[in-house]
Structure 1
Amino acid sequence: MMIDLPGIGAYTLNEPVTWPAIDAPATSRIVYAAAHVVADPLGDNTPGAPAVVDWEATLRFRHHLWSHGLRVADAMDTAQRNAGLDWAATKELVRRSAAEARTVGDPATLVACGAGTDHAPGAADLHTITAAYSEQIETVQSAGAGVIIMASRQLARAAEDPRDYHQVYGKLFGLADRPVILHWLGEMFDPQLAGYWGSRDVAEATESFLELIHAHAATVDGVKVSLLDEEHEVRLRAALPEGVKLYTGDDFNYPSLIRTGSHALLGIFDAIAPAAAAALQALDAAEAAGDVAERDRLLAAYDEILAPTVPLSRKIFETPTYHYKTGIVFLAWLNGHQDAFAMVNGAQSARSLRHLAQVFRLADRAGLLADQELAVRRMKTLLAVNGL
């Protein structure tokens, strides 16, 4: 099968890949896929308008992720928090996602949701910021989901030094009904979070971050780090208190980080769920293998599965990184998980046709076009709409 792609020319698709069914989640690592929301294509999802969500398709996609043995990290930046998903839609997403998880199993295990301060953009003092966080934590906990404490733009503006972060987070830990996940989102994902934890120097910020975690280790399940710095993550992982997990958020270096001990909470796993699930099954088997040769064979299989997903991920997350959601939704549309290439806040326009053509090509090379005929047909439709 062939298609003409802008910037690429005539491209012949690879042989399709049939990924194995997954009987049970991986046990060697805890893995969350940060999930996107499906916009209602008939809704007024223009920039700045309240989000109008296709709830049926949004929840169906979460079942897709669960069917591959992945947990769901919901209401996060992949779901366009601080980028079009307003608080009214976020509350509904949290409620619906947790309720849907109950049809599969324990919502506290299957889904964790972001709690932040984005519904209070004018919050300018620590007391108001803490109250805003508290409201969102209560919303998540009352739904029955796990809590991911997201980085706050408002706190980044208001905090004068590390002590201010420790004061706010210390109060939030007291509200948690179970251990929480902390989210350190780098400024490449959100420039307004520069200097988080009290310093623009990463080493100093890390020292502050670790001090906070060590002081509250019993209430921290893990930390999700999205700095796209493999060496830093390995050092941080080694410095965490016993029992506190490192959930990699590094969409550039996840294969090696997971292989060497990180758990995962990744936006790219929204797009590569079948491959991620197969790789994790190989990793499980490798870590259980008693024979060295068998272990090496299984680790090689893990590497072979994930290797072609890395160029895809690096393309989707290329600068400006915060526009990665467009590529995630584009692949969901190509793969038939939603009927339209539409996003809240009109974000489907955030990447060029040449960029999307490369995403198409790299997804095919990674074996991640589930139905090649559908994908080609939809890609040709997109090109035709744009005069090609």
Structure 2
Amino acid sequence: MPVLWRSLSSGKDRGLSQPPFAQQPGQTTYPPYQQPGQPPQYQPQYGPPQYTPAPMMPQQGPGFGWGPGGPGWGQQPPKKKSKAPIFVLLGFVVLAVIGIGAWALSQSSAEPHSSPRYTPSPTRTQPTEQPTGQPTNSPSEKPSAATVAARNKLYSVGRMATVNCKEPRVRPTNTRNAAAYWAALKPCLDKSWAPLVTKAGYTFKSPRMTYWSGSTITNPCGGGVINVPFFCSANNMLYMKVDVFVKTYNEYPDAESKAYARMWYSRSIAHEYGHSVQYMTGILQAASQMRYDASDYAGQLRMTRRMELQANCFAGVFLAANKSSYPINGMMLYVWRKWVVTAGDDPEEGDHGSKASQARFMGKSFNTGNPATCNTFAAPAKNVS
């Protein structure tokens, strides 16, 4: 059975042009108001307007946690000199006063509403979950993990149709607005992926989503310091970290930096949703098994890259299908091409893929809008560096 792991940014990026708050090689990043070993400074007090909490009912057993690498993993445009540092500092003071911190808010459009509830797994044991569905035309004999990952029927469903998704008009100037921004995109992702997952012969189940700030969040996939959004399969939940979105958006006043933040974090929710699509189609479980079976660390890391590159590629599929209505043009298209799709690890060193690999998969899927572009598991090792 596969070993569980959380694929977050390793911090070895690594010669990239990074935001000032991004972690540097050999360092661990903590929010400026949260130091190692300290308890959260405040508790959840609010969520996005018109969204009420949904019950959090984790499946029994542990799950897989996946993250996009966050701002520390990506590039950001060179910053113009301004008085922004003072603004950011004052912003942190105000945010601390109004109660930003470790908080969680669940949102679901299809389930009854109640207060969030977390049931952490006490230990990292071997997973027991199976794919949420099997292709209706699959043989009775269970396919191998390699077959599920590399020959999945999701690759043959064709282009994603647009659902005319528009970028949310709210701007992520505070945590409430950041949560509202992502909450507005979630229905677009549901409508976009449901037909493709169903056409592939799997059962579509929309992931739930919660919002949080700080350095830790209780979840069934494990613990420890977390600095980025992530997906947990144990409860099919997207954990969207709002404070990193706010910080990136508010850091500098120029239009390029703000467009970068919106484009990066639009990709971020689409990436985490991509991990949920992997889970629904059995790819996530298959990759976990193959990673566990890998004979060395290099093989394990390469399997992780295949998983993360595919999630980014799936994000590109969604953004491609809706680029006209969003719209992704002008400054948004400029920062996508210059900063988002060109971000990456040093070749063969990171867990999310090199710049060349990002361009090969996410860059291409942004043009094709087709999941067939995203078969990272059939690609030769040199193409998933």
TM-score (norm: length of structure 2) = 0.27
More RCO (CA 8 Å, sep 6+)? 2
Larger Rg: 1
Greater share of residues in helix: 1
